[in-house]
Amino acid sequence: MPGKVRFYKLCKRFVDEKDEKDAPPRVKQLEYYALAIGHHIGVVDCLSPVMVIEEEDYFKWISKLPRGKARSKLEGLARWGELEINKEHVSPLVAALAGAASSFLPEEKQWAGCLLQHLQSIGKEPAIYLVVRLTK
């Protein structure tokens, strides 16, 4: 059965209230620090869907990217079933998408535009990231 590739964007982050109300001030400070640096110590990330692509179409699309860090990153979905796109991936992905833009089909151009829009958001606010999941 063919799968779907789903892109999600971090839309909200909060501290689990159950843990927060019982925590002494020193622990609360650690939770706020965890929020600031993005670790997941008592922190819940809320992800909202931003794009869905059929699995076969996704892999055809990314096969058009030039070989390198960006393509390898996106191909990792086949192996791991999930990947995270964060601030360190923005520059290589933007360059790869630009380098392959002329070979994209119309629908692939829409996907690239959507991904570029979210990469720009990550560039402006590094606490934002994308999660890409392969679901069967």
pLDDT above 70 covers a percentage of the chain that reads 74
Average pLDDT over residues 43-64: 91
β-partners of residue 7 are 51, 132
Q: With beta carbons less than 8 A apart as the criterion, state whether 134 and 77 touch.
A: yes
Phi-psi region of 44 (alpha: psi -120 to 50; beta: other; left: phi over 0): beta
27: Cα separation from own chain's centroid: 29
As assigned by CATH, the class of the 4-11+47-135 domain is alpha beta
Taking 90 as the threshold, does the pLDDT of residue 36 lie above it?
no
Query: Exposure string (b/e) for 18-56, b if CB count within 10 Å is 16 or more?
Result: eeeeebeeeeeeebeebbeeeeeebbeeebeeebebebe
Of 83, 55, 81, 53, which Cα lies nearest the Cα of 69? 83
Of the candidates 57, 53, 52, 30, the one whose C-alpha atom is nearest the C-alpha of residue 43 is 30
pLDDT tens, position by position, 79-130:
999 999 999 999 999 999 999 999 999 999 999 999 999 999 999 988 889 9
Residue 13 pLDDT greater than 80, yes or no: no
For residue 85, which of 62, 110, 119 has the smallest C-alpha distance?
119
Q: Is the pLDDT of residue 18 over 80?
A: no
Distance CA 82, CA 77 (A): 5
Question: Residues 7, 49: contact at Cβ < 8 Å?
Answer: yes
What is the average per-residue pLDDT within 22-40? 53
